[in-house]
Chain A
Amino acid sequence: MTTDSNILIKVDGLRKSFGDLHVLKGIDAEIKKGDVMVVVGASGSGKSTFLRCLNLLEEPTGGTITFEGVDITDPSVNINKHRQKMGMVFQQFNLFPHKTVLKNMTLGPIKLLKQSKKEAEANAMELLARVGLADKAHAYPGQLSGGQKQRVAIVRALAMNPDVMLFDEPTSALDPEMVGEVLEVMKKLAKEGMTMVVVTHEMGFAREVGTQVVFVDEGVIVEQNAPEEFFGNPQNPRLKDFLSKVL
């Protein structure tokens, strides 16, 4: 029972279909506080859909997701409240192009968390300084490089002071020379104890930062292990095949 209180997200029998296409076919997972779960798999395996189900951007077809003790798949739950506690970072950044970096970051805290403008801006400036972008506070997203945009997207999510951060292939849309700066920020975040679920193709990151690595194939988790075991001694033949291609 003592371990139960440490479980932040519990996924039971998660299924998701788009019409006749069954993308997720029953996924069980537990994410504890401070965990960094790295989800890997071939494209089309369902790993992104799994992540997007965690904050109900995709509505699951079956199964339950329990976040901080509440079954958020229950239609009577106000999902907007719970989403405030789950930051999300997208492959395509999705910054709001009509707002400055600072406004991107303070919109949520001011409107949803009812922070004062001053408080929200001070907090945002501190976060921007942490990722080395304090000088870009008044720039528009269109003036930033891909790596800068993604760092802003990360701190925009952090400004809501979430309990978990979801990353959906955060470096896949970046030029190679910008991948490093984003991974650096994510590593720092993990070291500070943030709970994270990361869908990525960066095996180096999975090995170095992950506390558990999950291999999704055809809508199910086929292997799940600590990174040393996962990469050093893979069991499933599909995983062996996958690793031989990506490593």
Chain B
Amino acid sequence: MLMLQNAAPQLAEAAEQGGIQKFFADLSQSFEKTFITDERWKFFLDGTLATLRIAFFAALLGILLGFLLAAVRSTHDMRLLGRKSRTFSDVILKILNTLCNLYITVIRGTPAVIQVMIMYFIIFANSRNKEVAAVLSFGINSGAYVAEIVRSGIMSIDKGQFEASRSLGFDYKSTMFHIILPQAFKNILPALGNEFIVLIKETSVAAYVGISELTYVGNLVRSRTYEAFFPLIADALIYLAIVLILSFLLKKLERRLRNSDH
């Protein structure tokens, strides 16, 4: 009994050591298969670059669309809300506002994966330019969210700022440009940053239609090696790294813009 009692831990230890060694051997083999064999690390590099390209241009498009939409919606609310439209330009503004509302409603009301598929299988059915389809799809998607963020920023500025600028003789456009938007931008920067973080991760949806970005290449490697661990963990870590870098840059920008707050 005594001997057995003494031997048991040793046996377990030996088995454990063998297990640990085997575990690490398997792990390194798995690692090699995932990254080294056939230079598969290049897949991950290309996938990362594709993800960055798609996210960057989609964000640019999102900002452009978002600010345009927000400009139309805010101008409409400030000029026409609770009033009858009278002039020709009022009517145009009203129509534009309705279109913007429709756009925002449809985009926010449908899943991104469906939007990507519509763009890829219907609109870009005859085109080989897969990445452009992804950029357009995610840019249009992001624009709807950015529009509401920017509009909330414009509405957060005190009415007195608007009046002070108009009383100096600035017209509506210059007031927006010099007085309202710079202040609004500072207020919405955290929300805007959040939107772009979401956007970066959302580009993974493009894997669904076979655009070879980061998620897609992870899957590709997984299906070739029958190893799930490293491709998925690598994908996750790369997304995390991109988001961390973006967060860091945003925080820096926020700090710089805060210099007038005392």
**Bound Cα distance from A57 to B182, whole angstroms:** 22
Known: A57-B163, A142-B260. A96 touches B179 (CB 8 A): yes
Of A83, A98, A111, A153, the residue contacting B174 (CB under 8 A) is: A111
Q: List 6 A-B contacts (CB under 8 A).
A: A80-B166, A90-B164, A92-B158, A96-B164, A97-B261, A157-B167
Q: Does B171 contact A (CB under 8 A)?
A: yes
A57–B162 Cα distance when bound, in Å, is: 10
Question: How far apart are B251's CB and chain A's nearest CB, in angstroms?
Answer: 19
Residues of A near any B CB (own CB < 8 A): 55, 57, 80-81, 83-84, 86-88, 90, 92, 94-99, 107-108, 111-112, 140, 142-143, 153, 156-157, 160
A86 touches B167 (CB 8 A): yes
Select which of B164, B165, B178, B262 is within 8 A of A142 by beta carbon.
B262
- A97 & B160 in contact (Cβ 8 Å cutoff): no
> Which chain B residues border A87 with CB–CB below 8 Å?
167
For A84, give its contact among B163, B165, B168, B261 (CB under 8 Å). Answer: B168
Q: Chain A residues near B260 (CB, 8 Å)?
A: 97-99, 140, 142
> Shortest distance in angstroms between B163's beta carbon and chain A's nearest beta carbon?
6
Contact B169 A83 (CB under 8 A): yes
The reply to whether the CB of B53 lies closer than 8 angstroms to some CB of chain A is: no
Query: Is B262 a contact of A160 with CB atoms below 8 Å?
Result: no
Check B183 against A112 for contact (C-beta < 8 Å): no
Beta-carbon contact of B169 and A112 below 8 Å:
yes
> A140 to B165, alpha carbons, bound, how many Å?
17
Beta-carbon contact of B170 and A111 below 8 Å: yes
Interface string of B76-115 (1 = CB under 8 A from A): 0000000000000000000000000000000000000000
Chain A residues whose C-beta falls within 8 Å of the C-beta of B182 in the assembled complex: 98
Nearest CB of A to B133, in Å: 39
Which residues in B have their C-beta under 8 angstroms from that of A96? Answer: 161, 164-165, 179, 183
Tally chain B residues at the interface, Cβ within 8 Å. Answer: 21
CB closest residue in chain B, given A153: B164
Taking the closest CB of chain B, its distance from the CB of A4, in whole angstroms, is: 26
The answer to the question of B186 belonging to the interface, with a C-beta cut-off of 8 Å to chain A, is yes
Whether A94 and B169, one on each chain, are in contact in the complex, defined by CB atoms closer than 8 angstroms, is no
Give the docked Cα–Cα distance between A108 and B168 (Å).
Answer: 7
Cα-based distance from A183 to B183 in the complex (angstroms)? 31
Instruction: Scan B145-171; emit 1 where CB is below 8 A from any A CB, else 0.
Output: 000000000000010110111111111
The answer for the CA separation of A140 and B262 in the assembled complex, in Å, is 8
In the complex, the answer to whether A94 meets B164 with C-beta atoms within 8 Å is: yes
Residue of A nearest to B186 (CB): A98
Given A98-B260, A140-B260, A143-B262, A108 and B170 touching (CB < 8 A)?
A: yes
Closest chain-A Cβ to B255's Cβ sits at a distance in Å of 15
Beta-carbon contact of B170 and A112 below 8 Å = yes
Chain B: minimal CB distance from A9 (Å): 15
